[in-house]
Amino acid sequence: MRHALEFYIDGEWVAPVRPATLDVIDPSTEQPFATISMGSAADVDKAVAAAKAAFQTFSMTTKEERLDLLRSILDVFRRRVDEFGEVISREMGAPLAFSKEEQAGVGIAHLSQTIKALEAFDFTYMQGSTLIAHEPVGVVAMITPWNWPINQITCKVGPAIATGCTMVLKPSEIAPLDALLFAEVMHEAGVPRGVFNLVNGDGPSVGQVLAGHPDVDMVSFTGSTRAGVIVAQTAAPTVKRVHQELGGKSPNIVLRSADLVAAVSHGVVRCFENSGQSCNAPTRMLVPAERMDDAIAAAAATAAKFKVGAPADPETDLGPVVSEVQFDKIQALIQAGIDEGAELVAGGPGRPADLNRGYYVRPTVFARVTNDMRIAREEIFGPVLSILGYETVDEAVEIANDTVYGLASYIQGDLEEARALSKRLRTGVVRINRSAWDGAAPFGGYKQSGNGREYGKFGIHEFLEIKGVVGWDGV
């Protein structure tokens, strides 16, 4: 990639203030395939200054001007969507077909939904004699993850553009190349100088500097709960807005009214998607205790169908996980499941037998898990499913809510029963049966899964301040 050693600041590709580099590792080979520059506080200062200067004019643009800009961004993104799929597959290991259709395709979906939401959005309205105005929050620091990289970039950048904010993006240094490609899209689309800026780097050297920067008005962060706490603590002295989408340990309640075999099979597939590296993955499956044996058989049969292999292989269902650190964490938690007495019914420690390199994990299912085990409480972020039994629906709800997280939950069974149950689950998202993804639905969590919401009009609201102009009509 031609700009891998540069940052995008004030509408130009620039070298870092202090030269420093990092290799980008292909998780399927464990070998470097690209090198990026790593930023410092000096680079952050340049980028924030550019965004602050640009805000003076960009915040005054009209809704129609910003719609035109978003449509231009979407047009360029569409033309280059296959490039995004190829880059993301290489840097984080997603199977190529999945990466093109889902990982890259979701960028089109988010930009399209933002345009649709902005078209219908009213930035001002009258409340009696007072004008209520929604105005851009200011300069936004965006810190995005490696697992769904362009998903999180577009669902932050889109609404920031829609509202008239300016921004500095720090993508994950583990999977940074798609963000550099996105900067090329922004440049080609004619985004004004300073509105969008990108600085690569790690959390301490760039992410925390952005979070604490006095000229940054808001931080939008997606990542682990541990890192989210650090971001919030760093941002606190400047009392800036902090929006976070963090970890999850999502329950999937299979009701007695469900077709158990179909529900379990679907739950396994959803858990393993993206090699289990999704914050909203349904990793705790709750089944009626008397049907545990049937659930085990269905889950084991489904897990056995997954082919783990090279991302470029069209037969591959699951690619590698993203890094050695992630691989080692998953392996340790699989071993913890065994040591704590869970029943291993599929997969287990180590790589698949036919793979001797790459961060490949065996699709793993544990059964007869109790909610005090580490595999039921910690976010594993790999293709590992825990099946827990329940006696009553009340017990299922108690187990489901017995977690520090509250991002998503899943219910499978009779529609009316599922609707009633959804009110009792302490999560920001509830998905009933095999519902399709909705890019306009609010996405975000309760408890330690974060605060604020993304997607569609809900994402737009996050980037706005509210002003009341009393006496607007002269009364």
Integer Cα distance of 81 and 182 in angstroms: 10
Rg (CA), the chain: 23
| Inter-residue contact 314 to 92 (CB < 8 Å) | no
Residue 351 CB-density burial (10 A; 0-12 exposed, 13-18 middle, 19+ buried): middle
**Residue 141 to residues 160, 163, 170, 396, Cα–Cα distance (Å):** 10, 15, 8, 39
| Inter-residue contact 351 to 361 (CB < 8 Å) | yes
Which neighbouring-strand residues pair with 343? 367
Active-site residue, from 155, 165, 271, 279 = 279
**How many Cα atoms within 13 Å fall on the side-chain side of residue 178?**
35
**Residue 320 to residues 233, 306, 309, 356, Cα–Cα distance (Å):** 33, 13, 7, 12
| Inter-residue contact 405 to 418 (CB < 8 Å) | no
Integer Cα distance of 328 and 30 in angstroms: 13
Integer Cα distance of 250 and 329 in angstroms: 19
Q: Can you say how many angstroms the Cα of residue 319 is from the centroid of all Cα atoms in its chain? A: 18
Active site includes 245? yes
Cβ neighbours of residue 60 closer than 8 Å, sequence gap 6 or more: 164
**Residue 441 to residues 104, 110, 248, 458, Cα–Cα distance (Å):** 19, 11, 18, 8
Integer Cα distance of 414 and 411 in angstroms: 9
Query: Is the CA virtual torsion 79, 201, 458, 400 positive or negative?
Result: positive
Which neighbouring-strand residues pair with 131? 126, 469
Integer Cα distance of 308 and 317 in angstroms: 6
Query: Which tokens belong to 125?
Result: 């309205």
| Inter-residue contact 237 to 259 (CB < 8 Å) | no
Residue 258 CB-density burial (10 A; 0-12 exposed, 13-18 middle, 19+ buried): buried
Active-site residue, from 245, 379, 454, 462 = 245
Residues taking part in catalysis: 245, 279
